[in-house]
Amino acid sequence: MILMDNKLPTLEELDQMFADRYTMKDDAYRNYCSQPISDPPVVAGWMERSRFEREDSRDFKRRRDMSWDRRQRDRSWHDDRR
């Protein structure tokens, strides 16, 4: 089906064109399904980090949490100095 500039396909025409899409009547789909499944890629050491980096990031998180706690204490009602 060749589309002209001024004629767009209707829903019925599209349903007719793609009625057998991804079924066993679709040659391209059958060819794709008959291919063997390839092995997934393996990337060695993709999650590898040094011990120093892990400890450093945990220490930073602890320091950040302590500063947040200190800010919350300063804003609490028992430190109200009016």
Structural domain range at position 64: 51-75
d(CA 72, CA 82): 18
pLDDT tens digits, 11-28: 999 999 999 999 999 999
Domain-located, residue 14: no
Overall number of domains in the chain: 1
| pTM metric for this prediction | 0.38
80 occurs within a structural domain:
no
- pLDDT by residue (tens digit) across 9-68? 899 999 999 999 999 999 999 999 999 999 988 888 777 666 555 555 555 555 555 555
Residue 55 lies in a domain: yes
| Cβ–Cβ < 8 Å for 49, 56 | no
Q: How far apart are CA 37 and CA 14, in angstroms?
A: 31
The residue among 3, 8, 29 whose CA lies nearest residue 18 is 29
CA distance 26 to 18: 9
